[in-house]
């Protein structure tokens, strides 16, 4: 009989925590999960799932306009914020129930409450202690807002999904993917939208052509983009409106200010440093290739280790850890190369592999293929939106190093190209692949002339 209450105690029932606990229990381990907020974590509740539902909703404004070119007249269309907000909430609650059933059906014990690590093998939840041979820490990440006068008046992405009233004018501060996504959402739903970013161009780390293309498309849609822009302070007025004082001392009034200035590992109040867990930058837990911390019985994965803050990455890390700890096969190390990702901006971004800048720095001899065209749909809709595609190729080996797209369904298209890059496809293989016609995706296999 084990000297511990559990073989594995998981702190956090987000994507990585649920996957790891379920698969560990299926492998025969006795597992408990503690969660003090909601099941499914950020992605299901206040992240990718509700955000993409909002993106769908926001796009209808353009769809109604585009319909005219196809003979449809849409009279009296109007947007009702409470309907979208509450329908989204019902769907999230449905998913919460699914996650609970997944855990229960796998034999995982669900403990409601916030957990804190007491020692290398003990966790405390709501005054009760539990012991475990191993502890897995997966509390995710949380929004970061810098300190400045009036910070208390801003909202973050967590709040945006539950606003009581829809703003007539909103200022989105930040230059990452969350900022550009919410700028597109609020604009599409009818708010006057300003996006402020302190740098020269948003989406740092993405391919420069992709960044510039999205900038131009967002400006074309009427979003007020302000680069090299900084908030000095925010004051709340008697009527509830907010007054922003910018760095140049000019002022501006709005109904809401959303800060999307990054996310940091959610490691506060977990007791980790007190028990000797080594922490890195921004409060991230330092782990080895097997997700083991400096305390051998304590493991961590997902956003809290701050490698790649993506839901599918956390799921894969959870599987890799379970294979290592409880699998009967040779453990498979996580491979962080060629991970495809999407930004649900409007238009979407899809990307996998190296940017042109990264490729030139690493390989030197790089060949670039680009295509920019008007989507077939818009030949009748009249919309001027352009689709952009790009291939980055090693000039020596002909291997495709990166694929990038800005346009409708970019995420759907890039998923398949992620498989191709993972398999080591060359440009010759792309060229010999017959396209599906007429689609935008076929452009990736018909680009013949280097840019």
Q: What is the pLDDT of residues 246-300, one digit of tens each?
A: 999 999 999 999 999 999 999 999 999 999 999 998 899 999 999 999 999 999 9
pLDDT exceeds 60 at position 1: no
Q: What is the pLDDT of residue 2?
A: 73
Range in 26-35, 227-236, 301-310, 322-331 the model is least confident about = 322-331
Q: What is the pLDDT of residue 103?
A: 96
CA proximity to 48, closest of 181, 217, 190, 144: 181
pLDDT exceeds 60 at position 179: yes
Q: What is the pLDDT of residue 444?
A: 98
| CATH for 59 | 3.50.50.60
Do 170 and 110 share a domain, yes or no? no
Confidence of residue 234 (pLDDT cuts 50, 70, 90): very high
Radius of gyration of the chain (CA): 24
CA proximity to 354, closest of 201, 207, 214: 207
pLDDT for 40-97, tens place per residue? 999 999 999 999 999 999 999 999 999 999 999 998 899 999 999 999 999 999 999 9
pLDDT exceeds 70 at position 329: no
> How does the average pLDDT of the chain come out, rounded?
96
Q: Is residue 215 part of a domain?
A: yes
Q: What is the pLDDT of residue 327?
A: 87
| CATH for 376 | 3.30.390.30
pTM of the model: 0.96
Q: Is residue 121 part of a domain?
A: yes
pLDDT for 389-408, tens place per residue? 999 999 999 999 999 999 99
437 flagged as catalytic? yes
pLDDT exceeds 60 at position 174: yes
| Element at 179 (helix H, strand E) | helix 177-188
Q: Is residue 307 part of a domain?
A: yes
Q: What is the pLDDT of residue 364?
A: 87
Q: In terms of residue numbers, what domain contains 382?
A: 341-445
What lies within 8 Å, CB to CB, of 390 at 6+ separation is 207, 209, 210, 356, 368, 369, 370, 371, 402, 403, 404, 405
What lies within 8 Å, CB to CB, of 280 at 6+ separation is 286, 306
pLDDT exceeds 80 at position 226: yes
Q: Is residue 41 part of a domain?
A: yes
Over residues 339-345, the mean pLDDT reads 97
Confidence of residue 333 (pLDDT cuts 50, 70, 90): confident
Q: DSSP string spanning 188-211?
A: HTT-EEEEEESSSSSSTTS-HHHH
pLDDT exceeds 70 at position 39: yes
Do 133 and 158 share a domain, yes or no? no
Do 23 and 91 share a domain, yes or no? yes
What lies within 8 Å, CB to CB, of 91 at 6+ separation is 49, 50, 53
Do 47 and 28 share a domain, yes or no? yes
State residue 170 phi and psi, 5-degree precision: -135, 145
- Last-in-domain residue among 295, 326, 357: 326
Q: How many domains does the chain have?
A: 3
Give counts: helices (H), strands (E), the chain. Answer: 12, 21
What lies within 8 Å, CB to CB, of 130 at 6+ separation is 5, 6, 9, 32, 111, 122, 123, 124
393, β-bridge pairs: 367, 400
Over residues 146-155, the mean pLDDT reads 98
Instruction: Say how many C-beta atoms besides its own lie within 10 A of residue 151's C-beta.
Output: 14
Q: Is residue 451 part of a domain?
A: no
| Residues 423-432: contacts with CB under 8 Å, at least 24 apart | 424/399, 425/399, 425/400, 426/397, 426/398, 426/399, 426/400, 427/367, 427/369, 427/391, 427/393, 427/398, 427/399, 427/400, 428/398, 430/391, 430/400
Q: How wide is the angle at C-alpha 236 spanned by C-alphas 235 and 239, nearest 5°?
A: 145
pLDDT exceeds 70 at position 322: yes
Q: Is residue 332 part of a domain?
A: no
| Element at 400 (helix H, strand E) | strand 400-406
pLDDT exceeds 70 at position 241: yes
SS percent in the chain: helix, strand, coil, step 5: 35, 25, 40
Can you tell me the distance from the alpha carbon of 298 to that of 284, in angstroms, rounded to the nearest whole number? 14
Over residues 371-397, the mean pLDDT reads 97
Torsion sign (Cα): 139, 142, 146, 149: negative
CA proximity to 138, closest of 36, 51, 48: 36
pLDDT for 124-136, tens place per residue? 999 999 999 999 9
Q: What is the pLDDT of residue 107?
A: 97
Over residues 364-387, the mean pLDDT reads 96
CA atoms within 13 A on the CB side of 448: 4
Q: What is the pLDDT of residue 151?
A: 98
Do 23 and 135 share a domain, yes or no? yes
What lies within 8 Å, CB to CB, of 72 at 6+ separation is none
What lies within 8 Å, CB to CB, of 275 at 6+ separation is 117, 118, 119, 120, 295, 298
Q: Is residue 107 part of a domain?
A: yes
Can you tell me the distance from the alpha carbon of 325 to that of 328, in angstroms, rounded to the nearest whole number? 9
Annotated catalytic residue, options 112, 187, 404, 437: 437
CA atoms within 13 A on the CB side of 71: 0
Do 162 and 50 share a domain, yes or no? no
Q: Is residue 414 part of a domain?
A: yes
What lies within 8 Å, CB to CB, of 328 at 6+ separation is none
């Amino acid at each position: 009989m084990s000297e511990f209450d559990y073989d594995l105690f998981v702190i956090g029932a987000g994507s990585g925590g649920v996957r790891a606990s379920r698969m560990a229990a299926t492998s025969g381990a006795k597992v408990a999960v503690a969660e003090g907020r909601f099941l499914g974590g950020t992605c299901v509740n206040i992240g990718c799932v509700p955000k993409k539902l909002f993106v769908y909703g926001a796009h209808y404004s353009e769809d109604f306009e585009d319909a005219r070119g196809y003979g449809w007249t849409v009279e009296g269309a109007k947007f009702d914020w409470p309907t979208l907000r509450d329908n989204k909430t019902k769907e999230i609650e449905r998913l919460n129930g699914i996650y609970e059933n997944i855990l229960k059906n796998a034999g995982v014990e669900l403990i409601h409450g916030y957990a804190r690590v007491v020692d290398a093998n003990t966790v405390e939840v709501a005054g009760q202690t539990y012991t475990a041979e191993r502890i897995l820490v997966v509390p995710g990440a949380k929004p970061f807002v810098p300190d400045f006068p009036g910070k208390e008046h801003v909202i973050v992405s967590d709040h945006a999904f539950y606003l009581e009233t829809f703003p007539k004018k909103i200022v989105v501060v930040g230059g990452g993917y969350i900022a550009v996504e919410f700028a597109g959402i609020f604009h599409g739903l009818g708010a006057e939208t300003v996006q402020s970013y302190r740098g020269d161009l948003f989406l740092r780390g993405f391919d420069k052509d992709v960044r510039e293309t999205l900038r131009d498309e967002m400006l074309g849609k009427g979003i007020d983009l302000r680069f090299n822009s900084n908030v000095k302070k925010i004051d709340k007025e008697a009527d509830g409106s907010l007054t922003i004082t910018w760095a140049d001392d000019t002022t501006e009034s709005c109904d809401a200010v959303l800060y999307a200035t990054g996310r940091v590992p959610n490691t506060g109040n977990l007791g980790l440093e007190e028990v000797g867990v080594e922490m890195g930058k921004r409060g991230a837990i330092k782990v080895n290739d097997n997700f083991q911390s400096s305390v051998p019985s304590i493991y961590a994965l997902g956003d809290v280790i701050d490698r790649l803050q993506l839901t599918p990455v956390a799921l894969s890390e959870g599987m890799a850890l379970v294979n290592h700890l409880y699998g009967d096969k040779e453990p498979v190390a996580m491979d962080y190369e060629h991970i495809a990702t999407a930004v649900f901006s409007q238009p979407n971004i899809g990307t996998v592999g190296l940017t042109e800048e990264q490729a030139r720095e690493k390989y030197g001899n790089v060949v670039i293929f680009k295509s920019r065209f008007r989507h077939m749909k818009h030949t009748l809709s009249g919309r001027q939106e352009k689709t952009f595609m790009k291939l980055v190729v090693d000039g020596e080996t002909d291997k495709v190093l990166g694929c990038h797209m800005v346009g409708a369904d970019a995420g759907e298209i890039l998923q398949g190209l992620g498989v191709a890059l993972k398999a080591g496809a060359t440009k010759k293989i792309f060229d010999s692949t017959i396209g599906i016609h007429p689609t935008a995706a076929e452009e990736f296999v018909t680009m013949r002339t280097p840019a």
